[in-house]
Structure 1
Amino acid sequence: MNALASTFKNMACLSVLCFSLFSFTQNNSKERKIVKAVDRYAENAIELIKKSVNMNSGTMNFDGVKEVGSLFKGELDKLGFKTELTNGDAYGRAGHLIATRKGKKGPEFLMIGHLDTVFELESPLQEYTMENDSIMKGPGVADMKGGDVIIILAMQALKEAGLLDEMSIEIVMTGDEEKSGSPLELSKKDLIDAAKRADIALGFENGDNNPKTIVVARRGSTDWELKVKGNPAHSSQIFTEDIGTGAIYETSRILNEFYVQLAKEKDLTFNPGFIIGGTSLNENANGTGGTAFGKTNVVAQQALVRGDLRAVSLEQLTKAKATMQNIVSQNYPKTEAELVFSSGGYPPLSLTEGNTKLLGYFNTVSEDLGFGSVTAVNPRNAGAADISFTSGYVDMAIDGLGLTGGGGDHTIYESGNLNTVATQAKITAVLMYRLVHSKF
C-alpha cells in the first residue's frame, strides 16, 4: 500500500510539472514568439559574430573600431533604431555607437556593449577559428563582440514578436572600454547621460565566463604611481646616518606593507604592474615601463612603481587609499616617497537591492525557459566594466549577459561557446518583455 501511494504521489508530482510547463507554453504566446524568433535568427547572429571578430578593432585602431560600429549600426537601423556613430576626437578615441527607440510602456532600458578589443593590429590573433562545432576562438569573440550580437539578436526577436515598438531602449556600445580615452569625463559622458535617463541597465560583457552566473556587483579600478627617492652614494655607506637606505629598500618596505596591511581585505586587490629602480630612470612615454641604470656598488637614487587598485565599493576604495598613503608617509631614513592615484579609473558597481532583485527576475526567466538557475558572480571574479558608470543612476543593473562558456580573455586563447548566444538572447528578450508588462 505504501509503494502504491508513493507511485501515485510521484505521478501527481509529474502531472503538476507537466501542467506547469504546459501552462507556460500555452499561456505566453508572446514569449513563445520571442523564443521562436531567436531560433530563426540565431544562425545569422553567428555569422555576424564571425564577421565582426575578423574586423580588427583594437582600441587604438580607430578605423577598425568605426568599421565594427558601422556593421552593428546597419543591423540596428534595420530594426528602426535611431543610430549615431559619435566622434571621439575630444578624448582621443574612435567614438561610440548609440542607438535609441522610444516606446510607450514600461521602464527605460539601457543596454551596454563595446566595439573595441585588446587585440591591436600587431596582435598575433586576428581571425576566428572553430575549436569544435560550438567553441569559437578569436579576438574579442567573448569580450565582447558576442555580447554585442546578443543585444542585436534580442532586439530582432522582440521586433519579430511585435513587442519592440512599445519599449524605450537606448543601446550604447563604447569604442574605448578596453583603454579609456582622456579625459574620462568626456570618454564616458554619453554612457553616463544614458544611465541618467534609464531605469534598468543590462550589460553584455561575458562576466566570469559561466552561463550560470550573472554580475550584480563589479569592482572598480584605479591606477596608482609610486615615486621614491634616496641619496646616491657608494654602497659601502648604505645605512649610515648621512646616506640612509636608498630608494629600492624604501620601495620594498612600502610594497611589503601594502601586502601586510591590505592583502586580507575581502574583494580588494592592489597590483604593482612594473617596477624600475637604480641611479637613473628612463620612463616610456606611454607609461607601460622603462629602463633603469644602476651599479651594484651604488646606493639607488630613484625607483618607480605603477599598479592598479580594485575595490568593490567607494567606501572600500577610500579606506584603501588612506591606508596606502599612510604607509608611504612613514619613510626609511633619508628617503622620500610620493603616491599618486589617477583621477580617472572605473568606479565600482556597488551591490544594491535593485540589482539583487533584477538578478532574481533574470533567474526566474532562465528557469521558466528551461535553462536552469542563475546565481551572482563573486565580485572578486568580475573586473571593471562600462556598466559601473551606471552605479547611482539606475534603479537596477546586472552584467554578464553576453557570450560565455569560453575563457582566455585578453589573450590569444580567448574563446566563447556559441551555444550560449541564443540562450542569452532568449532570456534577455523575455526578461525585457516581462519587465515592460509587469509580469513578475
Structure 2
Amino acid sequence: MKLGFIAVAGAAALLSMHAQAAPKAPARDAKVWAAAEAARPEQLKLLEQVVNVDSGTGDVDGGRKVAGILGARLKALGFSVESVKAEVDGLPENTVATLKGSGKGRILLIGHIDTVFGPGTVAKRPFRMDAEKAYGPGVSDEKGGVVEGVYAMQILHDLGFKDFKQIVFLIETSEERGSSGTQKLIGKLVADADVELNLEPGDLPDKLTVWRKGAAGVHIEVKGRAAHAGIAPGEGRNAATELVHQIAANDQFPKTGDGITMNLTVLQAGTRDNIIPEDAAATYSVRIREKTDLAKVLAAVEENAQTTAVPDTKVRVWHQEPFFPPLPINTGTDALADRAEAIYAGLGMKIGRGGNGGASESALAYEGGIPALDGLGPAAGGFHADTEYLLLSSLTPRLYLLTKLVQELGHAPPPRLK
C-alpha cells in the first residue's frame, strides 16, 4: 500500500511539474482582434472588387487593373509603390510596395493576383457568398490572401505600429506559370529580407503549409508522317498513335500522393479529320518532394521514348524551365509555425500543419536562405476549378494571425537559414 501511494503521489507531482513547465498561450490582443473584426465588411468589399476582374496569367489589362486597385490602397498607407516590368513578355507588371519602420525585422510578403481562368469567366460566375463560403475566380487562389495582406497592413497603420525595419509586399502576376516573370525579382527581394510570409490559401479545415512539392513541366513530342487518311493511310506514320503508346508507357508514375506525381495536362494531335497526324504532343505536370526526383522522372520518360510502337516515328522529351523547387520540411519553417500556433492558441483556436503538391514562391525564399511560412491566406478549397471557394469563418482569425506574425517578426526577426 505504501509503495502504491508513493507511485501515485510521484506521478501526480510529475504531471503538476509538466503543467507548470508548459508554455502558456499568449492572451488575445484585444486591439488587433477588434480591428480584424471591424475590417471584415470592407475586406469582403475589396475582395469582391478584385475577384470581379478577370486576371488570368497573361491578361495584361486585367492584371494591371487589379494591381492598380491594390497598389492605391498600399500607397495610401504610406508604402512606396513600384511597378516592375515582368521578366518575360506578355505579362503585366509586378508590384513592389515598400514601407520603412524603426525596428529590426525585414519582412517579405508575397501574393499573386494571376489566376488560371480565362477572359469572360467573371461574367459567367462573378463573386458571390452564401452563409459559409465566398466564390468566384481566384477568390482563394490567391486574391483572398492578397486582400488579407492589404488589411493586415491597414491594421498596423491604424495602430501606429512601426517596430520593423521594412515590410516589402510583392504582388506578382505569373505564379500560375511558375513565376516565370518574377523569379529574378523574388531572388533580389529575398536577399534583403529576414523572413517570407506567403499568402497562398490555407488547406482545410484550417492548416498552415509547412512543405510543398516542386513543380516542372515535362513534354513529349512525336514526329510522324502525314498521309491521306482515306486513300493512302499506310503511307503515313501516325504521331497520335505513337503518343498514345508513350502515354501508356509512362503510366508507371503515381497520379496522387505525397511523393512523386505525374499527371497528363495537355494533349495535342492532328489538324484535320482526313489527314494522318504528323505531329503530336503531351505535357505532364510533374510534382517532386526532392530536387533529384526530377532527374529520375526524366530518365524513365527518355528511356520509354527509345521504344516506339509506330515505325519511323521519332520521340523527343524535354522539360520546362524555370520551375519551382520543393519546400522541404525544415527547422526555420517549423519555428514560424510554432509562433503561428501560439498566436492562434491565444484565440482559443488550433491551427494545423500540412503540405501539398501546389508549388509556390516560398520554395524560392527557402532556396535564398530565409525562413518561409506558407498557407497564411484564408482556409479554402476547390482550387483551379469552378468550385473554388474561401471559407468565411477563417477570414477574421487569419487576418489576426497575419497581423500578429508581422508584429512579432518585426520586433524579433528569425535568423537566416544559410
- Read off the aligned partner of 1:206 and give its amino acid letter: P
2:281 aligned partner = 304
Q: How many Å apart are 1:47 and its aligned residue?
A: 1.7
Within a 5 Å distance, the mapping from 1:72-87 to structure 2 comes to 72-87=70-85
* Long gaps (5+) in structure 2: 1-11
TM-score scaled by structure 1? Answer: 0.78
Deviates more, 1:169-178 or 1:250-259: 250-259
Asked if 2 retains the 8 angstrom alpha-carbon contact of 1:34 and 1:160, the reply is no
Within a 5 Å distance, the mapping from 1:209-288 to structure 2 comes to 210-230=204-224, 247-248=239-240, 250-260=242-252, 266-277=258-269, 281-282=270-271
Equivalent position to 1:168, from 166, 169, 190? 166
Counterpart-to-counterpart distance in 1, 2:156 and 2:191: 24
Asked if 1 retains the 8 angstrom alpha-carbon contact of 2:56 and 2:118, the reply is yes
Q: How many Å apart are 1:37 and its aligned residue?
A: 2.1
1:400 aligns with 2:375: yes
Q: How many Å apart are 1:58 and its aligned residue?
A: 2.7
Counterpart-to-counterpart distance in 1, 2:403 and 2:228: 70
1:358 aligns with 2:336: yes
Deviates more, 1:102-111 or 1:300-309: 300-309
1:410 aligns with 2:381: no
Describe the shift of the 1:161–1:249 C-alpha distance in structure 2 as closer, same or farther (beyond 3 A): same
Q: How many Å apart are 1:204 and its aligned residue?
A: 0.8
Q: How many Å apart are 1:401 and its aligned residue?
A: 0.9
Counterpart-to-counterpart distance in 2, 1:317 and 1:180: 16
Describe the shift of the 1:265–1:317 C-alpha distance in structure 2 as closer, same or farther (beyond 3 A): farther
Equivalent position to 1:337, from 298, 304, 315? 315
Asked if 2 retains the 8 angstrom alpha-carbon contact of 1:201 and 1:394, the reply is no
Secondary structure of 1:404's counterpart equals strand
Across the two proteins, how many residue pairs are aligned to each other?
395
Counterpart-to-counterpart distance in 2, 1:180 and 1:344: 7
Describe the shift of the 1:301–1:69 C-alpha distance in structure 2 as closer, same or farther (beyond 3 A): closer
Q: How many Å apart are 1:148 and its aligned residue?
A: 0.8
Describe the shift of the 1:349–1:439 C-alpha distance in structure 2 as closer, same or farther (beyond 3 A): closer
Counterpart-to-counterpart distance in 2, 1:439 and 1:62: 36
Counterpart-to-counterpart distance in 2, 1:411 and 1:263: 18
Deviates more, 1:54-63 or 1:110-119: 54-63
Describe the shift of the 1:165–1:148 C-alpha distance in structure 2 as closer, same or farther (beyond 3 A): same
Describe the shift of the 1:274–1:24 C-alpha distance in structure 2 as closer, same or farther (beyond 3 A): closer
Equivalent position to 2:400, from 415, 423, 426? 426
2:62 aligned partner = 64
Counterpart-to-counterpart distance in 1, 2:240 and 2:174: 36
Counterpart-to-counterpart distance in 2, 1:271 and 1:400: 23
1:203 aligned partner = 198
Describe the shift of the 1:276–1:173 C-alpha distance in structure 2 as closer, same or farther (beyond 3 A): closer
Describe the shift of the 1:272–1:158 C-alpha distance in structure 2 as closer, same or farther (beyond 3 A): same
Asked if 2 retains the 8 angstrom alpha-carbon contact of 1:154 and 1:429, the reply is yes
* Long gaps (5+) in structure 1: 1-8, 283-290
Counterpart-to-counterpart distance in 2, 1:249 and 1:92: 34
Secondary structure of 2:212's counterpart equals coil
- Read off the aligned partner of 2:107 and give its amino acid letter: F
Asked if 1 retains the 8 angstrom alpha-carbon contact of 2:109 and 2:197, the reply is yes
Describe the shift of the 1:395–1:253 C-alpha distance in structure 2 as closer, same or farther (beyond 3 A): same
Describe the shift of the 1:266–1:204 C-alpha distance in structure 2 as closer, same or farther (beyond 3 A): closer
Asked if 2 retains the 8 angstrom alpha-carbon contact of 1:91 and 1:187, the reply is no
Within a 5 Å distance, the mapping from 1:155-194 to structure 2 comes to 155-179=153-177, 184=180, 186-194=181-189
C-alpha offsets along residues 1-30 of structure 1, whole Å, 9 cap, x if unaligned?
A: xxxxxxxx9xxx9xx99xx98x943xx7xx
Secondary structure of 2:196's counterpart equals strand
C-alpha offsets along residues 60-114 of structure 1, whole Å, 9 cap, x if unaligned?
A: 3322211211111122122211111233385321111111123343332111111
Asked if 1 retains the 8 angstrom alpha-carbon contact of 2:262 and 2:284, the reply is yes
Secondary structure of 2:97's counterpart equals strand
- Read off the aligned partner of 1:352 and give its amino acid letter: N
CA RMSD after TM alignment: 3.5
Q: How many Å apart are 1:245 and its aligned residue?
A: 9.1
2:126 aligned partner = 127
Describe the shift of the 1:233–1:106 C-alpha distance in structure 2 as closer, same or farther (beyond 3 A): same
C-alpha offsets along residues 180-207 of structure 1, whole Å, 9 cap, x if unaligned?
A: 67xx3x5332222112222211111114
1:3 aligned partner = none
Q: How many Å apart are 1:158 and its aligned residue?
A: 2.3
Q: How many Å apart are 1:348 and its aligned residue?
A: 2.5
Describe the shift of the 1:330–1:244 C-alpha distance in structure 2 as closer, same or farther (beyond 3 A): farther
C-alpha offsets along residues 38-63 of structure 1, whole Å, 9 cap, x if unaligned?
A: 22323221221122222332333322
Counterpart-to-counterpart distance in 2, 1:389 and 1:395: 9
Counterpart-to-counterpart distance in 1, 2:395 and 2:305: 48
2:89 aligned partner = 91
Asked if 1 retains the 8 angstrom alpha-carbon contact of 2:105 and 2:412, the reply is no
Asked if 1 retains the 8 angstrom alpha-carbon contact of 2:196 and 2:372, the reply is yes
Describe the shift of the 1:187–1:336 C-alpha distance in structure 2 as closer, same or farther (beyond 3 A): same
Counterpart-to-counterpart distance in 1, 2:41 and 2:291: 43
Counterpart-to-counterpart distance in 2, 1:251 and 1:90: 30
Equivalent position to 2:112, from 111, 114, 119? 114
- Read off the aligned partner of 1:325 and give its amino acid letter: E
Counterpart-to-counterpart distance in 2, 1:439 and 1:344: 30
- Read off the aligned partner of 2:365 and give its amino acid letter: T
